Amino acid sequence: DIQMTQSPSSLSASVGDRLTITCRASQTINNYLNWYQQKPGKAPKLLIYAASALQSGVPSRFSGSGSGTDFTLTISSLQPEDFATYYCQQSYSISRTFGQGTKVEI
Amino acid sequence: EVLLVESGGGLVQPGGSLRLSCAASGFTVSDNFMSWVRQAPGKGLEWVSIIYSGGNTYYADSVKGRFTISRDNSKNTVYLQMNTLRPEDAAVYYCTRAMEGIAGGLGFDYWGQGTLVIVSS
């Protein structure tokens, strides 16, 4: 299976900060990389698919980049509602593995 | 409006069985790839299984041979039959719709609210 490694595992930030989370795949996955946001007690929400495509309804402060094995999720100006846990996921292989998550705290 | 509603979770003893259901509305299950994802308490997301629109099914190694994904087109419902349950299978189980591109997946765009499975004696 393809292993997905996110960094950092957690971070503290403030409203207005620019935030970057990285995700590395254990082998090339082209651009088949997705990002999700999850708030406590809620189902995950798809933010970015195909590495850089913004899912409908997601604010433009979220952006994704990368290809091959290294990817990033950027939040240009952190808002109060953005404090959550973020997961990357590869959809290159049949087994759609997730990263371990990055918790963004105030 | 697209909706996914899971049911069937609950408390089961180790070695027991449970069948989860995912009733879909707003789209046709058989025209889409459908997947189950689980999340153990306080842990991250784990992909469990997927059923392709053509009917092929695939599983995570951790559940292979014990879990079976299926669908009932007449009910527009996806199922996850879970047998020989272990304590480590305890989790919230989410039903999801998988967007697919020409050569690969594009993410899980719709999720249910989840159903909790507890495996304990």
List, in order, residues 6 or more apart from A95 with CB less than 8 Å away. A1, A2, B47, B58, B60
pLDDT at B79: 98
CB contact set of A44 (below 8 Å; sequence gap of 6+): A36, A37, A38, A87, B37, B45, B94, B108, B111
Separation of alpha carbons B41 and B52, rounded Å? 28
B117 strand-pairing partners: B10, B91
pLDDT band at B106 (very low <50, low <70, confident <90, very high): confident
Residue B103: pLDDT band (50, 70, 90) is confident
Q: Which residue carries 């669908």 as its tokens? A: B71
* Pairs of CB atoms within 8 A across A/B: 72
Q: What does the DSSP 8-state code read for residue A53? A: E
Peptide linkage before A8 cis (omega within 30 of 0): yes
Q: How confident is the model at residue A46 (pLDDT cuts 50, 70, 90)?
A: very high
**Mean pLDDT confidence for B81-93:** 98
A45 contacts in chain B (CB < 8 Å): 111
Mean pLDDT for all residues in chain B: 96
Asked if A103 is an interface residue toward chain B (Cβ–Cβ < 8 A), one would say: no
Instruction: Work out the average pLDDT over A27-47.
Output: 97
Return the structure tokens found at A25: 């795949």
Evaluate whether A80 touches A15 at the Cβ level (below 8 Å).
yes
Query: Residues B27-85: pLDDT tens digits?
Result: 999 999 999 999 999 999 999 999 999 999 999 999 999 999 999 999 999 999 999 99
Residues 6+ apart with CB under 8 A from B87: B14, B119, B120
Q: What percent of chain A has pLDDT over 90?
A: 98
Give dist(CA B92, CA B43) in Å, integer.
Answer: 10
**Closest CB from B44, B61, B105 relative to A87:** B44
Longest dimension (CA), chain A: 38
| Amino acid identity, position A59 | P
- Cα-Cα-Cα-Cα torsion B79, B15, B66, A2, nearest 10 degrees, comes to 100
Residue B107 has its nearest CB partner, among A49, A97, A99, at A49
Q: What is the pLDDT of residue B100?
A: 87
Please tell me which residue of chain B has the smallest CA distance to A89.
B107
